[in-house]
Amino acid sequence: MTTIDETLIAKMTEWRRHMHQHPECGFEVEQTSDFIARTLESFDIEVVRNIGHTGLVGILRCGDGDAAIGLRADMDALFIHEQNEFEHRSRHDGKMHACGHDGHSAMLLGAACQLAQTRNFNGTVYFIFQPDEERGKGAQAMIDDGLFERFPMQAVYGLHNLPGLPAGSFTVRPGSLMASESSFEILVKGVGGHAAMPHTGVDPIVTASQVVLGLQTIVSRNLSAIHETAVVSVTELETDGTVNVIPNQVRIKGDCRCFTEDSLAKIEQSMERIVSGICQAAGASYEFNFINTFYPTVNSTAETAHAVAAAEKVLGEENVNPACDPFTISEDFSSMLRVKPGCYALLGNGTESVGGCALHNPHYDFNDAILGKGAAYWTQLVLDQLK
């Protein structure tokens, strides 16, 4: 069973708090990427930079084995003004690590240090540090830049902290773990005019209202109530009218979540069919735009079993849930899982006053008490897969 000594945990805490003090967002993570690269190189790990703009990969080979796996951490912060008062709070107004990516990077650095020191595996580990997870663009950028061709790996793994779960507990499931996140924008075009004479035009508000109601039939009438969980939400209505003027157009915006790409395709197709039919019946025209930001996060069965086995060794079987309910949050690691088999898992950040503050909250902070647990999981996973 892998354990991480207190000296390394202290170093991870130092790294994590340094990154927390200096948050960067999107692809603009140059200082963070530099810091991580220097730290990896101090372990005598080869580093390749500028993959997907500011992404990087650390390469650690041992023995003569051909097997290789990738371990991924995200680096970017959020545009949130931190409201914590502790010493390691953000020094950049309007930016903070409110999702724990500082902790994810520190845990993976800790595993890299441990594996570089012991070198008791046979094969290759690729330590993937990714930018721009929050906007859903970083994983695909690294893939488009040849991540899996330049660094041939059989599987890829990810790990994220989760407030509300006991610190160091581990939860995962094979299949769909997290939902997709897609947005839609529908422009209903009518013929505006005086509110006292609606018969002289085509009222886009009435048409748009029918569209909103029609969209609510997609989940209940186009998807299986047993096998296809989904949410379609209209979140904004905008017009160019006023109190006594029927507008020329209404813009409808909203959000969709589901757990398979098949369901995602059905939602998009059903949505445009409904919009087209209602607008045609009303004599209106429309523009329709459907944007996939995050695909469903779908874990492969074998790699999930490997992740569970490693977690049980270092965290205890009683602290591992191998068949949790799916989550409606989203993650752009899903793009990597569309290309390679792998597993994305969640590590408890703590409950109530210690680690329980919600993600994306200005009072959130990563729980340093789980740094050693995350690094131990990563290390054990490598030892098990690259024997």
Model pTM score: 0.94
Closest Cα partner for 111 from 313, 305, 371, 302?
A: 371
What is the DSSP-derived secondary structure letter of residue 242? B
Whether residue 354 is predicted with pLDDT greater than 90 in this model: the reply is no
CATH 3.30.70.360 fits 181-294, yes or no: yes
Alpha carbons 115 and 381: distance in angstroms, whole number: 11
Residue 321: partners with Cβ closer than 8 Å, 6 or more residues away: 169, 170, 171, 172
So where are the chain's domains?
6-178+296-385, 181-294
Q: Write the burial class of residue 104 (CB in 10 Å: 0-12 exposed, 13-18 middle, 19+ buried).
A: buried
The alpha carbons of the chain give a radius of gyration, in whole angstroms, of: 24
Whether residue 40 is predicted with pLDDT greater than 90 in this model: the reply is yes
Largest CA distance in the chain: 82
Q: How confident is the prediction for the chain on average, in pLDDT?
A: 97
The top-level CATH class assigned to 6-178+296-385 is alpha beta
Q: What is the DSSP string of 258-309?
A: ESSHHHHHHHHHHHHHHHHHHHHHHT-EEEEEEEEEE--EEE-HHHHHHHHH
Alpha carbons 160 and 332: distance in angstroms, whole number: 12
Mean pLDDT of 310-332: 97
Q: What is the pLDDT of residues 63-94, one digit of tens each?
A: 999 999 999 999 999 999 999 999 999 999 99
Q: What per-residue confidence (pLDDT) applies to 112? A: 98
Alpha carbons 96 and 362: distance in angstroms, whole number: 8
Closest Cα partner for 147 from 68, 252, 264, 251?
A: 68
Alpha carbons 173 and 305: distance in angstroms, whole number: 9
